[in-house]
Amino acid sequence: MEQDWIMGLLGGLIIGLAGAVYLLGNGRIMGASGIIGGLVDGSGRNSWLERVVFIAAVFAAPIVLMPLYTGVDTHITQNIWVVVIAGLLVGVGTRMANGCTSGHGVCGMSRLSFRGIMSTVFYILAGGITMVFFRHILEVI
């Protein structure tokens, strides 16, 4: 468990560094939902190449690191309906709120943005309630 925390802290520092590079280099907030969403709905048409390069690098980095690790795993539910509904909620919700864990959470809270803090409070609360309901009461995830 302690090792997970150390890796979490180390990975977190690298995530923060990524956000710092994007902000100081390109003058942009490193928000994953905004970078992806701007491509999907066309609002980011003028900066499409920058967005595609960023997303491709996010996709590729774990492939490069993978050989250094053993037993990389993920534990997503195998219930396809849950996965589809979750994806739709994340897609609609992050665009409606104009940010997700990276934009509102990492970039927003670090500049003491009231909206970033409020968003983070509400998505964590909603996530916690969802866990209680769907894991402990309905037992579907």
Partner 1 sequence: MYLLTALISGALFGAGLFISGMTDTSKVQGWLDVFGAWDPTLAFVMGGAMIPMIIAWIITGRMTSALNGAQFPPKNTSRADPKLITGSVLFGAGWALAGLCPGPSIASLSYGGPMHWTFVAAMLVGMLFAPMVTSRLFKNA
d(CA 114, CA 23): 19
Name residues contacting partner 1, limited to 7-36 (CB under 8 A): 7-30, 32-33, 36
Question: How buried is 78 (Cβ within 10 angstroms: 0-12 exposed, 13-18 middle, 19+ buried)?
Answer: exposed
Q: Name the H helices within 27-113.
A: 32-40, 48-65, 80-96, 109
Nearer of residues 45 and 122 to partner 1, judged by Cβ: 122
Query: By CB under 8 A, is residue 48 in contact with partner 1?
Result: no
CA atoms of 64 and 119, how far apart (whole Å): 33
Contact with partner 1 (CB under 8 A) among 44, 46, 67, 125: 125
| Residue from the set 46, 67, 70, 127 that interacts with partner 1 by CB under 8 A | 127
Task: Give me the least distance between CB of 52 and partner 1, in Å please.
Answer: 9
How far apart CA 116 and CA 134 sit, in angstroms, is 26
**How far apart are CB 24 and partner 1 at their closest, in Å?**
6
When asked if residue 138 is in the footprint of partner 1 (CB under 8 A), the reply is: no
- Enumerate residues 59-98 that contact partner 1 by CB under 8 A: 59-66, 72-78, 80, 82-98
Q: Is 45 in the site for partner 1 (CB under 8 A)?
A: no
Alpha helix segments (H runs only) across 27-47: 32-40
- 44 near partner 1, rule: CB under 8 A: no
